[in-house]
Amino acid sequence: MEVERIFRPNRKASLGVRRRNDRGETEVVYYPSRIEFVNGERLWFAAPQERGTLVPVSIGETLEVYVIGDNEVFFFEGEVRDRVKRGNIAYVVFAMPEKVIRKQRRNYVRFEAVLPVLLKKAEKAFPGTTKNISGGGMLVQLREGRDVFDPKEELLFLLSLDGRDIVGRAQVVRKDGPGLYAFQFSEITDRDREDIIKYIFQKQIELRRKGLLKK
């Protein structure tokens, strides 16, 4: 796996910082970033920020790092080797990782996940849950369990994903059963699509660690 191909300046990334929530539980909070420089055996990323304020990260702290490629997502856990500020720009610096996990994006791998979703047709809303999801679409079971949509019909959707809402438009691809519809995303931002892919990738890593998903 050529590091020059993976770690290129200006590639979008996401940095996962471990924090304790209000219940005292440890959780990983992800912040958008990008690769700024590749300097020998060091990777310079834009420091994570929240509402314009730098997120506190310590030297020696281990972060979860996702790098978004053209057809792949790359993941590694990296120890912060340095924090640097030049002018108004702050960076976190990692050593070049020895192990990088790669996941193909080309065909948008489907992942079984139960997530709340709301579909809107004209002025009526139809609540349901996903049965699986990918970067390209989702399979949704409506709560009412009856047929209400037509093939190729385009609907507004609101998907709840890890504490935030993703809003876009999706087209009915097919009906798989009573109130069960397959959708293809027809209008979605790049960031939202990347967040869905990242969510799937992270869940797969968690399942592999538990021995519940084959590598």
Of 32, 38, 30, which Cα lies nearest the Cα of 6?
Answer: 38
Q: pTM to 2 decimals?
A: 0.59
Beta-carbon neighbour count of residue 183 at 10 Å?
Answer: 25
Gap between the Cα atoms of 92 and 59, Å rounded:
9
Residue 211: predicted pLDDT: 67
- The full DSSP string for the chain is --HHHHS-TT-EEEEEEEEE-TTS-EEEEEEEEEEEEEETTEEEEEPPEETTEEPP--TT-EEEEEEE-SSEEEEEEEEEEEEEEETTEEEEEEEPPS--EEEE-TT---EE---EEEEEETTEEEEEEEEEE-SSEEEEEESS-S----TT-EEEEEEEETTEEEEEEEEEEEEEETTEEEEEEEE--HHHHHHHHHHHHHHHHHHHHTT-S--
pLDDT, tens digit (0-9, with 9 covering 90-100), for 104-129: 654 566 788 999 999 999 889 999 99
- Band (pLDDT 50/70/90 cuts) for residue 19 is confident
Left (φ > 0), alpha (ψ -120 to 50) or beta: where does 211 sit?
left
How many residues belong to the chain? 215
Residue 139: predicted pLDDT: 95
Fold of 3-104: Pnp Oxidase; Chain A (2.30.110)
One fold for 3-104 and 111-205: no
Residue 72: predicted pLDDT: 76
Mean pLDDT over 154-175 rounds to 93
Residue with tokens 């960076």: 91
Residue 87: predicted pLDDT: 87
CA angle, 199 as apex, 194 and 204 as ends, to 5°?
A: 125
Gap between the Cα atoms of 146 and 113, Å rounded:
21
Fold of 111-205: Thrombin, subunit H (2.40.10)
* Domain boundaries of the chain, sorted by first residue: 3-104, 111-205
Number of alpha carbons in the 13 Å side-chain half-sphere of residue 102: 13
**Does residue 157 register a pLDDT over 90?**
yes
pLDDT, tens digit (0-9, with 9 covering 90-100), for 72-105: 788 899 999 999 999 889 999 999 998 898 876 5
Number of alpha carbons in the 13 Å side-chain half-sphere of residue 23: 3
- Band (pLDDT 50/70/90 cuts) for residue 200 is confident
